[in-house]
């Protein structure tokens, strides 16, 4: 097997681990091709049937994929699971050059890959260049620590059936098995596309023009026309294509839409509404403007990019978004900056909360917390009380509800 490469792989780009694999049988044509290679390898239909049962009933634990190897622990009739491995041939450097040239030559191939699709035409074109992406029976070499000498045993068959579902979800898993990770492949395709564009620019006819010095020497320039009236509404930006190595097009669309709205406000009022925000506050504001919690597919990329750009994690950003939706910059300050309030409203809050039937709350700086419980109130420097919740016994507080100058109302609003 060949694992050599002239490309520089990013850390962990050549190792992927899957804790959860979709249930069911192979659905895509390339997933069926994988299963067909397994079944052509098998000498015993009974073991295949047991393998399908093991796969369906969740006997296959976490699957690890690296170039030329798929490994998982598969449970059987004994208490201790068996270490099961499927090896297959990786592609050579010249094979990868041929594959990349084939994929870069047709924009539709690249678009399909980015959409987690493996078009027949890409596999066929690669095969014409003597690069076989999909395995045959002779490519697969299963091993297992179980005593069963079947070829393959039922544990290896179960692993193959679960792997087919991984391939359904992401054909880059197949390419990783063949030797290279998703990011390094996309980077290589981006370089090929850039080189192709550069060649086109050098062969394009020159655009006629005039030197600036010559234009000025011709005499005074005509006066500029009056500025156009401010449009009634900000324009929506054009759609952005998916380009390897570039930000996600949906995230670009969301950022451009926000920039257009901001520019419209500046034109109409001569005031920048976010001029005083820090980069982190602006990132939180942008994420908070998106619907949902950031788990929906259209906003996941934006959360990921904003978190990375500010040196935070997506969880940090999601927590900050929950605070921003409570009350903007003031609520974000409450989340991130404890402070020591003066005597007065903070001291009076505890007996008021006790009179309302809440358990005794423990004070710390501007926080009042039910010991071991799920409720915390924080007094902001704006005089409002902000409610937070956590799972009982955990110190993992998230903003909930709307703030109020009355701590009892803030505690009640946390469920809204």
What does the block give as tokens for 199?
């060649």
Q: Do 390 and 275 share a structural domain? A: no
Which pLDDT score, from 0 to 100, does residue 144 have? 93
39 part of a folded domain: yes
Distance of alpha carbon 334 from alpha carbon 385, whole angstroms? 9
Which pLDDT score, from 0 to 100, does residue 7 have? 40
261 part of a folded domain: yes
DSSP 398: E
Q: Do 282 and 157 share a structural domain? A: no
Boundary-marking domain end, from 310, 334, 358: 334
203 part of a folded domain: no
Q: Do 33 and 129 share a structural domain? A: yes
- Let me know: does 33 contact 136? Beta carbons within 8 Å: no
Q: Which pTM was predicted?
A: 0.47
Q: Do 161 and 37 share a structural domain? A: yes
Distance of alpha carbon 289 from alpha carbon 276, whole angstroms? 18
326 part of a folded domain: yes
Distance of alpha carbon 151 from alpha carbon 164, whole angstroms? 18
- Let me know: does 403 contact 380? Beta carbons within 8 Å: yes
How many structural domains comprise the chain?
A: 3
214 part of a folded domain: no
Which pLDDT score, from 0 to 100, does residue 1 have? 42
199 part of a folded domain: no
Q: Do 327 and 362 share a structural domain? A: no
Q: Do 134 and 20 share a structural domain? A: yes
Q: Do 343 and 325 share a structural domain? A: no
Q: Do 182 and 50 share a structural domain? A: yes
What does the block give as tokens for 206?
């020159």
Q: Do 328 and 253 share a structural domain? A: yes
Q: What is the largest CA-CA distance in the chain?
A: 93
First to last CA, the chain: 59
Helix axes 93-105, 182-203, angle to 10 degrees: 60
Boundary-marking domain end, from 191, 212, 234: 191
Three-state SS at 86: strand
Which pLDDT score, from 0 to 100, does residue 200 have? 59
- Let me know: does 148 contact 51? Beta carbons within 8 Å: no
10 part of a folded domain: no
Distance of alpha carbon 355 from alpha carbon 361, whole angstroms? 12
Which pLDDT score, from 0 to 100, does residue 339 have? 94
Q: Do 377 and 320 share a structural domain? A: no
224 part of a folded domain: no
Which pLDDT score, from 0 to 100, does residue 315 have? 85
Q: Do 345 and 309 share a structural domain? A: no
- Domain encompassing residue 174: 16-191
Boundary-marking domain end, from 149, 175, 191: 191
Q: Do 282 and 360 share a structural domain? A: no
Which pLDDT score, from 0 to 100, does residue 341 have? 93
β pairing state of 367-369 and 375-379: antiparallel
Q: At which residue do the structure tokens 């850390």 appear?
A: 11
Asked if omega into 332 is within 30° of 0 (cis), the reply is no
Which pLDDT score, from 0 to 100, does residue 408 have? 93
Which pLDDT score, from 0 to 100, does residue 207 have? 63
**pLDDT tens, the chain, 416 aa long:** 444 333 444 446 788 888 877 777 888 888 888 888 888 877 778 888 999 999 988 899 999 999 999 999 998 878 789 999 999 999 999 999 888 888 877 767 777 777 788 888 888 888 888 888 888 877 888 999 998 887 889 999 999 999 988 888 888 899 999 999 888 888 888 787 777 666 655 665 666 677 877 877 777 777 888 878 887 777 777 666 666 666 667 667 777 888 888 888 888 888 887 888 999 999 999 888 876 554 444 467 778 888 888 999 888 888 999 899 999 999 999 999 999 998 888 988 989 999 998 888 899 999 999 988 789 999 999 999 999 998 777 888 989 889 999 999 999 876 54
């Amino acid at each position: 097997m060949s694992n050599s490469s002239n490309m520089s792989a990013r850390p962990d780009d050549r190792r992927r681990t899957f804790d959860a694999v979709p249930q069911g049988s192979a659905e895509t044509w390339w997933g069926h091709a994988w299963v067909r290679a397994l079944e052509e390898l098998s000498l015993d239909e009974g073991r295949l049937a047991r393998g399908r049962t093991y796969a369906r009933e969740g006997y296959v634990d976490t699957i690890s994929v690296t170039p030329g190897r798929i490994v998982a622990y598969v449970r059987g009739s004994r208490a201790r699971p068996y270490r099961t491995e499927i090896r297959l041939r990786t592609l050579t450097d010249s094979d990868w050059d041929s594959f990349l040239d084939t994929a870069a030559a047709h924009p539709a191939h690249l678009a399909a890959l980015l959409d987690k699709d493996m078009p027949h035409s890409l596999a066929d074109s690669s095969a014409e260049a003597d690069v076989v992406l999909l395995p045959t029976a002779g490519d697969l070499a299963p091993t297992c620590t179980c005593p069963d000498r079947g070829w393959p045993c039922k544990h290896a068959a179960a692993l193959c059936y679960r792997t087919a579902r991984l391939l359904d979800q992401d054909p880059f898993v197949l390419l990783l098995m063949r030797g290279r990770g998703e990011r390094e492949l996309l980077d290589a395709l981006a370089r090929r596309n850039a080189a192709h564009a550069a060649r086109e620019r050098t062969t394009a006819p020159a655009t006629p023009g005039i030197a600036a010095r010559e234009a000025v020497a011709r005499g005074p320039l005509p006066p500029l026309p009056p500025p156009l009236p401010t449009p009634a509404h900000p324009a929506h930006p054009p759609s952005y294509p998916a380009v390897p190595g570039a930000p996600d097009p949906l995230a670009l669309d969301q950022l451009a839409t926000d920039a257009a709205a901001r520019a419209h406000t500046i034109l109409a009022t001569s005031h920048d509404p976010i001029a005083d925000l820090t980069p982190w506050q602006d990132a939180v504001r942008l994420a908070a403007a998106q619907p949902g919690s950031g788990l929906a597919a259209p906003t996941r990329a934006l959360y990921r990019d904003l978190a990375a750009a500010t040196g935070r994690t997506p969880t940090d950003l999601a927590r900050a978004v929950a605070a921003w939706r409570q009350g903007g910059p003031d609520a974000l300050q409450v989340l991130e900056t404890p402070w020591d309030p003066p005597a007065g409203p903070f001291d009076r809050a505890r007996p008021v909360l006790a009179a309302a039937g809440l358990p005794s709350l423990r004070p710390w700086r501007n926080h009042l917390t039910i010991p071991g419980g799920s409720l915390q109130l924080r007094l902001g420097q704006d005089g409002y009380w902000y409610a937070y919740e956590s799972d009982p016994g955990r110190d993992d507080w998230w903003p909930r509800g709307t703030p109020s100058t009355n701590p009892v109302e803030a505690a009640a609003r946390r469920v809204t």
